[in-house]
Structure 1
Amino acid sequence: MDLLIVEPLEDEVTQWLSSRHSVRYAPELAHDPRAFRQALYNVRSLIVPPSVTIDAKALHYAPVLRVVGRVSAGAENIDLEACARAGVEVVRSLTATAQAEAEFMIGALLSLLRRVPVVGSDGMRVGRELGSCTVGLVGMAPSARSMSQLLEPFGSKVVGYDPSLHASDPVWERWKVRAMGLRELLETSDAVCVQLNYFSRYHGLLGERFLPFCKPDQVIVSIAHSGLFDEKALAAGLASGRIAAAWLDSLEPGALDEGRPLATMDTLQITPRVASTTRESRLRSAWAVARRIDELLSLTPAAQAEFKPTTPGVAFDLEAGPVSP
């Protein structure tokens, strides 16, 4: 079988793939791990949702698998290193969701700045305008470029930090973002947007080493993996009021359980990873992934498949293109 589709896709994308390859569309397998593993034996490519884990154990049941596609944002459910060792390429679009994520963060900032008042010079508690704010971008993901473009008409100053980019990298000037160190960014910014790609080495990066230096009354919006935050340091910042409010679009299970530091924070807002999920972004991403899988399947017939392995920790990037083949 050329392709097993477990993640629900738009009909037009599924029909296009079915006209070119042998396809099984079985979203019900996402809820039956045993049946899913059994279905992998003769599958050359997969498209899976966030709820399905692709790790060394799953790959053991997939001897001819060479491509894994991911339409929804994030790839935490896919062990990139295990895929690399198995010669399986991970295909997803890193640009298709950028506009949706940027619009979400802009909306969240407007809401927090207006809804969570601060004390003005006249002693009144009032909201703030985005145009008067310095906005710090942590992580120069594709959504950061969209954020910079959307913030320009507001008149906001935009600064940024990314541990993987040198301050002299031309991307800063091209995206019209002023590079800063993380501590300086937190000390300077009225609002912070976090979209840094998560790797284990960044776990707890936004913790007691940096969060105590946040500019007073700062608001934080994050669409990144919540593991970037140290929950004790974030809770302390919220409790003290130094961080006026935070909005996380992803939070690890159990983080709000009784006894955990963030459990009683009424200035913390959580949404279930909705930033990247819009009708338009899903269609862009689905077409990008479908085209790449079609290309790989067409170039490498089953009898003589030779695929370029995925570099550990780096997913294959796809440029967002038209929404029809």
Structure 2
Amino acid sequence: MSSPSVPVRKLGSQGLQASVQGLGCMGMSAFYTAAPQQEEESIATIHRALELGVTHLDTSDVYGPFTNEVLVGKAIKGQREKFTIATKCGIILGGGGMSLDGSRKHVRESCEGSLKRLGIDTIDLYYLHRVDPSTPVSETFAEMAALVAEGKVKYVGISEASPADIREAHKACPLTAVQLEWSLWSRDSEAEIIPTCRELGIGIVAYSPLGRGFLTGAITKPEDLPEDDYRRMTPRFQGDAFKKNLELVAAVKAIAQRKGVSPGQLALAWVHAQGEDVFTIPGTKRVKYLEENVGALAVQLTADELKELESALPAHKVVGGRY
């Protein structure tokens, strides 16, 4: 086994230690198309992640739904203590749509279900996946606090939440992490959400740090995505928006080529350069992309290079909403 190359740091201020780069497992089972025969490859990717020191695995009960937690459970069996397992509750898929449930009953039932599917006794980091507008956040996180007290959950977090909701949740049960989308082309959290996290000592977990794959430069036309890939339905991947966003990525590719790294590594290195409280969870189901992503940690960016990147891909020039 090769020696780990991924640093482990304190995530947030509640005591959790995690690898600064994790592995987003969603695409192994959901939304980006994943056939059952790919399960073996996905499990091999998780095992390779451990060899490289990528020990922070991110999943959710809604991925599948449920099947991604089962897959992660298979992959970590017999070596659970080597991993930091993060999962989520609060989103329900069904009836052709999505609903939100932050009730105490749902949080508890979801936690019990996740523990069984993952085959573990305690969830290291348990997130509310989305805030349920019909349930006070304080109520949701009172149940999270109860789960912590019972030892079913070690640390808690919240995903895609407003500064007000982050504050309310943090009062009810101290938050370890806020998960949010952050990349060169998704920077709207920088105005209020990230400063709120820093004020409260809450760690930042950046999902889609590669712009849902767009910043890797590998997607050059919508047809590069499978027909049932949900990205085809999102504004940034459609029509004129796709063409204009592709022009922005061309600038990133040019800088990456000059630096001798891949566009994806450059984009990931930019996120890591935003602070020691920032952790990333780029997703992949393939070993080769996992290894490439880990290589981003060796990419050092100077202040001038960071400015150049941000000028080449200014946030206001990105066309289309995130969802």
Scaled by the length of structure 2, what TM-score is found? 0.31
**Rg bigger for which structure?**
1
Give the number of the structure whose residues are more often helix, by fraction.
2
Scaled by the length of structure 1, what TM-score is found? 0.31
